[in-house]
Structure 1
Amino acid sequence: MEVANELMVRGIVVGVFQENCWVVGNRRTGEAICIDPGDQPAEILALAKDMGVTIKYIANSHAHIDHVMGVHGVHAATGAKFLLHRGDLDLLRNGWKGTAARFGLDVSQGPPDPDQFVAHDDIVEVDGLRLRCIETPGHTPGSVSFYAEEGMLFSGDTLFRGSIGRTDLPGGSMDHEMNSICERLLVLPEETVVLPGHMEQTTVAFEKKHNPFVLEWMRRGTDSPPWPRQ
């Protein structure tokens, strides 16, 4: 995907959980941000090479196993700074171990600690590319999304096409997740392309009109939605 004249976005589906890892870079400067390297670091690095970019930051939406098991390989190969919200630090350090054992995954090297924590409205920036961090707790306590003014939202496992991230895992909260979606994501421009952590892309406009979780949440609520009713 090309955005404007200089930005490029390409995704790769990795691991047994079929997670979407995104590489977004600037064609002119050759600098890039890798979002959610969940597995298969060699393939992610090959994708960046094919795009002609160098990964400067690894920006994670959250720390579930299917989003972090490629971090070590990309981090070691590139020296890119690894970014995560502080609320998911314990999950990063410990949460993947039980899941790996249950699924029989051979994980010889877990993810490193973050080089830097991100918080709401922080800017993750390389030459020619800026992503704004939006805190979107609910799927995990430290879930975040990343927004580019060029019209892209990397929603992690918070918002999917016609669905939402599960909230029944430790640290999850349906109330927090729906507030994150309705108050922070669906107030973005309707033409915003949503690039999630699993499955296909969508748009803010589509989710406002068709997402059954959003429609039910608004139906149950006593307050008006933070956008004009259709």
Structure 2
Amino acid sequence: MQINCIPSGALGVNTYYVRDEHTNKGFIVDPGGFSPKMETLIKKDFCDIEYIILTHGHGDHIGGVKDYLSLFPNAKLVACIHEKDFLANPVLNMSRDCCGMNIGLEADIWVNDNDTLQIGNLTLKFLYTPGHTPGGMCISVENVLFSGDTLFQQSIGRTDFPGGSFPQLKNSIHTKLFTLPEDTVVYPGHMGSTNIGLEKRSNPFV
């Protein structure tokens, strides 16, 4: 599994391009904005992008969705079913504030807790982790977790935005993420990577 992190959008969201080297199929996680660098990398790999996956619906994580869907017209947009209202409503997703434009999206595939999706030889499992937003989710694949804004390196996502809840977020982290193997590598929506064991032992917020 090849993982590339290229910050994008006005707030520099960690946008991930992931490729299964065996089948050359791949997916994009949280396109905060369009990145020519990522476009070049994907085209260089001749990768077949099958899915664009959103960990949640905030504007800083969705600003590049329409550009990538235009670039890869066969790709499907994937999001958690509980984030449907956020994605559709520019006021809730704060896209005007984050991106300078109103963005409303409808996913092609709505997933729920523990649903899976096959991309080449990779099996993606979706973990429903509300708290930062009502429909926040993380993506587990092999020994890797794409945590969006649920869990950061020595930090957690904000809960003071509309729909946020600290008790929910704390519960999500303890019941869904801290039960994963401690060597699971965490790729968050902001800041650098970490691992579950380190966060269980020393994250000061949970």
TM-score (norm 1): 0.83
Residues 38 and 101 from structure 1, CA distance in 2 versus in 1: closer, same or farther, beyond 3 angstroms? closer
1:23-172 matched pairs, under 5 angstroms:
23-78=17-72, 79-95=74-90, 99-102=94-97, 105-107=99-101, 110-149=103-142, 151-172=143-164
Shift of 1:96: 5.6
Which residue of 2 is the match for residue 186 of structure 1? 178
- CA apart distance, 1:98: 7.9
For 1:196-211, list aligned pairs within 5 A: 196-211=188-203
Please state whether the residue corresponding to 2:199 is helix, strand or coil: helix
Write the distance in 1 (CA, Å) between the matches of 2:180 and 2:93. Answer: 37
- Helix, strand or coil: the match of 1:141? coil
Unaligned runs of 5+ in 2: none
Counterpart in the other structure of 2:169: 177
1:139–1:157 contact (8 Å) kept in structure 2: yes
Which of the residues 212, 219, 228 maps onto 2:204? 212
Q: Percent identity?
A: 37
Q: SS state of the match for residue 155, structure 1? A: strand
- Count of equivalent residues: 205
- Whose radius of gyration is greater, 1 or 2? 1
Q: What letter is aligned with 2:88?
A: R
CA RMSD of aligned residues (A): 1.8
Higher RCO (CA 8 Å, separation ≥ 6 residues) = 2
User: Which ranges of structure 1 fall in alignment gaps of 5 or more residues?
Assistant: 1-6, 215-230
Rounded Cα–Cα distance in structure 1 between residues aligned with 2:133 and 2:105? 19
In 1, the alpha carbon distance for the partners of 2:30 and 2:5 equals: 10
- Deviation string, structure 1 residues 149-178 (Cα, Å, up to 9, x no partner): 2x1000000000000000010000101100
On the 8 A contact 2:58/2:95 being kept in 1, the answer is no
Deviations 1:47-103 (A, max 9, x none): 322344221011110000011111111112212000111221221122368844446
Deviation of the 1:42 alpha carbon: 3.9
For residue 144 of structure 1, what is the amino acid of its counterpart? M
- Give the match's secondary structure for 1:132: strand
